[in-house]
Amino acid sequence: MVDTAPRTTSKQQAAKPQRSADTAPPKPASTEASAPAQSAAPAQPAVDVATLGRQLLGTWADIRLASRERAARPELQRIEGQPMAEHRERVLGQLKLLVDEGAVHRAFPTSLGGFDDHGGNIAAFEELVIADPSLQIKAGVQWGLFGAAVLHLGTEYHHETFLPDIMSLKVPGAFAMTETGHGSDVAAIGTTATYDEAKHQFVINTPFRGAWKDYLGNAAVHGTAAVVFAQLITKGVNHGVHAFYVPLRNTKGAFLKGIGGEDDGLKGGLNGIDNGRLHFTNVRVPRENLLNRYGAVAEDGTYSSPIASPGRRFFTMLGTLVQGRVSLDGAATAAAAMALTIAITYGNQRRQFNAASDTEEEVLLDYQRHQRRLLPKLATTYAQFFAHDEFLVKFDAVFSGEADTDDDRQDLETIAAALKPLSTWHALETLQEAREATGGAGFLAENRMVGLRQDLDIYVTFEGDNNVLLQLVAKRLLTDFSKQFAKADAGVMARYVVAQTADRAYHGTGLRSLAQTIADFGSTARSVSELRDERTQRELLTDRVEAMIGEIAGRLRDARRLPKADAAAAFNRNQNELIEAARAHGELLQWEAFTRALAKTRDPGTKQVLTWVRDLFGLGLIEKHLAWYLIHGRLAPKRAQAVGAYIDRLVERLRPHAQDLVDAFGYAPEHLRAKIASGAELERQDEARAYYAAQRAAGTLPVPEKSKKK
């Protein structure tokens, strides 16, 4: 094992572990997959941490840095262990600070004091997770959901009437979409808004308990109004889900007539947000309170919409609110990056067990298992940073109007539904692994991991359950697949069937595997050479998505001609595979984004290290799905065996650069606020080493009993 820990205790090193000169290159492993031993170790590439850090900040780098500077201030940060009621009031006060500093108006129109900067707004908002996830989410409820619904679903009247008080926080609000009985299935919500032609009002009702609006931020205490989603009914016709601006409470905080609610109480995390339930009994609002950009009702009750199709209208309305998924993707990635920064910094300082020396304990990160636990997750986090920036650029193009066609919006929604599940799941997995990798210290609240893990837990459910979102992605992939043959003649379809049959014959009979075996000729080194090739990784990742969708499409090809119940049963039998295919599609998006970012990297040393990180991410995906590649004949056994062997080589190569790679995230001690990443552990370790060294030098160190028996 290689001792890469610092040897001195200067103040600078106490804050940040030393690398380069004190960092020995990794030892060559003895396996066949490892590079042959050489008489002199090759020079290690060096990472330009500052330049890499700027690249990770992405398109809105300066805005992110300004937001991080704000998040470093104690008055905006979470107090660990604070009682729920106090935490709620603290976060409300923090929102007022953001308003006073003009930090929340970036996405709103310039006519109202905003900047019409949608991408920059999300970039700044995501960084608030550093201070307190409750602050990030409550700000998101107020301006990213409540305010954004008025902005994107309303028209000029609503903007002028309601947005100024929303922007100033004079009217804290709730986003009343989710119901107790219908979470992600928004189209089926039970709340109704029935138009009264005589009084020119909508009458809002929650007709049964399952229709209560639930889990709503700002609903329990602070909200004085809400955007309520309900089935719009006029002249006896249900025109589907629409949004209404509904006042909730009077100036004394009491519910208005016909409105009631409950406090959701203590939650598993995010207790700085006052989540609650709302219900409505014959609550009347003016006709003008319908947010009518996509659907309007005239005084006589006549309904009109610029979008004729009810289904397309519904998805267009919901698509305008996609920014919640965008911000969750970015915030979850930031949380994973913070956890890895803490765990890897600690792993570079903490010593445990004598392995290669009679006197020196090993640094945790020198153990292969520790590297295997953390470095692949670091690679995935890098992929997510690069994918998220491309995602955010796409979002900004759509919402700025630069690229706002139906296809653009559908693509944005599909990307959001693909990436948000991957990043939020990854955040939870990374926080848990980082917690375990830091031992008992990681379980202390002062070191952030457990608090972040609790707060990020609900991110996998926010803005759509992850599995439901991936199902939406899968349906889009199936639709795109079927469009290839929508107008195909019999000859085209016949050729497709032949191609599919040939593909099964080629892969299924082992011909492809045989070709690989001949190419590899029994050499793991040759197998590795092929696997680290960018084209090979792209082919393997792309082939898996296309093959999975093609197989499912073939099985479902005749389902639309079946009775409804039989068609639903056929779809249900393929649901798990559909979700896995969608997940594979999201992983491919991340790998492609990483590869494009790599192509833009100019510094040779940084590019070499980033190439290893990209390869670790790509081969990690292949290793995770190795059974599929073997079963479907995409990899020969020898090449499949080489995947794990080369990953071991990669983590060994990356070990000396691990600290640089997390330092590039750019989180200062005031962002991390974790004592185990502050340099305190390094000071303790150096103190202990100095103590024993002094005793050995003075000859006063007691002799171990074991040595006396020799």
659 lies in some domain: yes
User: Do 223 and 306 meet the contact criterion of CB atoms below 8 Å apart?
Assistant: no
> Are residues 199 and 348 both part of a single domain?
no
User: Is 60 exceeded by the pLDDT of residue 512?
Assistant: no
Spatial distance between the Cα atoms of 308 and 353, rounded to a whole number of angstroms: 70
Confidence class of residue 42 from pLDDT cuts 50, 70 and 90? low
Q: What is the pLDDT of residues 79-118, one digit of tens each?
A: 999 999 999 999 999 999 999 999 999 999 999 999 999 9
> Are residues 569 and 659 both part of a single domain?
yes
User: Do 178 and 214 meet the contact criterion of CB atoms below 8 Å apart?
Assistant: yes
Q: Which amino acid is at 533?
A: D
Place of tokens 């459910």: 461
Spatial distance between the Cα atoms of 662 and 647, rounded to a whole number of angstroms: 19
700 lies in some domain: no
> Are residues 149 and 294 both part of a single domain?
yes
Which of 319, 344, 363 terminates a domain? The answer is 319
Write out the two tokens for 435. 């917690």
690 lies in some domain: no
48 lies in some domain: no
The domain total for the chain is: 2
> Are residues 605 and 588 both part of a single domain?
yes
Angle at 605 between CA 600 and CA 607, to 5 degrees: 30
Host domain of residue 134? 61-319
Q: What is the CATH number of the domain that holds 408?
A: 1.20.140.10
Q: What is the DSSP string of 30-56?
A: SSTTSPPP-SSPPPPP---HHHHHHHH
> Are residues 370 and 237 both part of a single domain?
no
Q: What is the CATH number of the domain that holds 92?
A: 2.40.110.10
> Are residues 518 and 370 both part of a single domain?
yes
705 lies in some domain: no
Q: What is the pLDDT of residue 7?
A: 33
Lowest-pLDDT choice from 428-437, 438-447, 511-520, 618-627: 511-520
> Are residues 382 and 481 both part of a single domain?
yes
24 lies in some domain: no
Q: What is the pLDDT of residues 640-693, one digit of tens each?
A: 989 999 999 999 999 999 999 999 999 999 999 999 999 989 889 888 889 988
Percent of the chain predicted with pLDDT > 90? 72
Other CB atoms within 10 A of residue 693 CB? 13
What is the sign of the dihedral through the CA atoms of 283, 285, 291 and 292?
positive
> Are residues 403 and 282 both part of a single domain?
no
Which of 298, 319, 340 terminates a domain? The answer is 319
Write out the two tokens for 683. 């000071």
386 lies in some domain: yes
> Are residues 376 and 503 both part of a single domain?
yes
Give the pLDDT mean for 511-524. 44
HSE value, Cβ hemisphere, 13 Å, CA-based, for 241: 23
Which of 319, 352, 371 terminates a domain? The answer is 319
DSSP summary character for residue 293: S
Q: What is the pLDDT of residues 228-267, one digit of tens each?
A: 999 999 999 999 999 999 999 999 999 999 999 999 999 9
Percent of the chain predicted with pLDDT > 70? 87
Write out the two tokens for 186. 């928004």
> Are residues 116 and 94 both part of a single domain?
yes
103 lies in some domain: yes
Confidence class of residue 75 from pLDDT cuts 50, 70 and 90? very high
> Are residues 216 and 69 both part of a single domain?
yes
> Are residues 406 and 537 both part of a single domain?
yes
